[in-house]
Amino acid sequence: MVRRNRLKLVHFASTLWFALSAGYLLVLALLQTGRSWWVIVSLSGYSTLIAFLLISLYLFSIFRGVARSQKTAAEHPLTTSVYYLVFYDISPFLGTLAGALSGIGITKVSQYTMLAATGSLWATFLVWIVIDPLLGSIEMLLPSSRKHRRGRLAQTKAMRQQERLAARRLLSEARSREELERTRWNETLRPYAEKLAALASSVEAEGNWKEAEAVDIGVSAWQMGGLNCMRQLHSMAMDIYKQTHPDTITDYISIWWDGIGSWRCQWPKGESESGGEFALNKGSGSHRPL
């Protein structure tokens, strides 16, 4: 961990040094146009090359950071070694040193610094853009690397298959539990469903609006199993209710249960507020339709 942090620090310093070198060359190119350094000039010639290198290195550094984190030492024994990582990170400084050595004997300071900055620029470009991807590609062609990669991909595929099987098993178990719970509820809720159907039938036959009893049954269903239990009870009660009133579309149970837990009244298709007012006229007026 300490070694990795140090390498990150060196890489940050080298990247900053490269940026300074490239910026210096850019400013020098602007000054050579004969205008002040803050004037925006046409991106042609030398400045175009510098801008292209800067954009290429910036984009590649993002890709390189992602690709390097995914490498394995068995598949890339050279480019993941400490010595190569150090060489990779200090390549801008090595380029500056090479440019400075090539400029020995030059008396003009601007030309000497330009050679040093150019050396940093080209060394970084060659190592980060050309040499490093080329070495990585060569490593992937090695027999040991190809063998390890096939094994790693097969292991990854097997792990994904196991995860899919585990997910299917959990889903199947959840469905089995839900079906078992529905079966248990079906036996328990049968008397309540018959009671609700009778209450709805009394509204049609006698005009008795027994909302309190229906609400008590709904609350009991909510406490027993939440919204799913209420839905199952509602479905059972409506099936019984429709056997004796096939032509009736008013869902009194949903109206009575509106507001219990997360139950929301859903007016049947074709039903309007006038239908709700019709129900209110039959009862005590304690229910307010949506």
Q: What is the pLDDT of residues 211-246, one digit of tens each?
A: 888 888 888 888 888 888 888 888 888 888 888 777
Indicate if the pLDDT at residue 18 is higher than 60.
yes
Indicate if the pLDDT at residue 210 is higher than 50.
yes
Indicate if the pLDDT at residue 87 is higher than 80.
yes
Indicate if the pLDDT at residue 274 is higher than 60.
no
* pLDDT for position 125: 86
* pLDDT for position 71: 58
* pLDDT for position 248: 67
Q: What is the DSSP string of 188-203?
A: HHHHHHHHHHHHHHHH
**What span, in angstroms and rounded, lies between the C-alpha atoms of 17 and 11?**
10
| C-alpha torsion sign, points 101, 103, 109, 113 | negative
**What span, in angstroms and rounded, lies between the C-alpha atoms of 241 and 195?**
10
Q: What is the pTM of this model?
A: 0.47
As given in the structure block, the two tokens for residue 188 are: 């328990």
Question: Is the model more confident about 50 or about 108?
Answer: 108
Alpha-carbon distances, residue 8 vs 12, 44, 211 (angstroms):
6, 35, 72
* pLDDT for position 250: 76
As given in the structure block, the two tokens for residue 110 are: 């601007």
Q: Where does the chain have alpha helices with state H?
A: 2-31, 46-69, 82-102, 109-125, 132-140, 143-206, 211-244, 252-257, 273-282
Contact 221, 262 (CB under 8 A): no
Question: Is the model more confident about 247 or about 128?
Answer: 128
**What span, in angstroms and rounded, lies between the C-alpha atoms of 2 and 7?**
9
34-43, 118-127, 176-185, 199-208: range with highest mean pLDDT: 118-127
Return the SS3 of 250. coil
Indicate if the pLDDT at residue 151 is higher than 80.
yes
| C-alpha torsion sign, points 79, 83, 86, 90 | negative
* pLDDT for position 121: 87
* pLDDT for position 282: 35
* pLDDT for position 269: 41
Tell me the average pLDDT of the chain: 75
Contact 91, 123 (CB under 8 A): yes
Calculate mean pLDDT across residues 124-139: 87
Question: Per residue in 241-272, pLDDT tens?
Answer: 888 777 766 788 888 888 787 786 654 443 43
Taking alpha carbons only, the member of 107, 15, 99 closest to residue 58 is 15
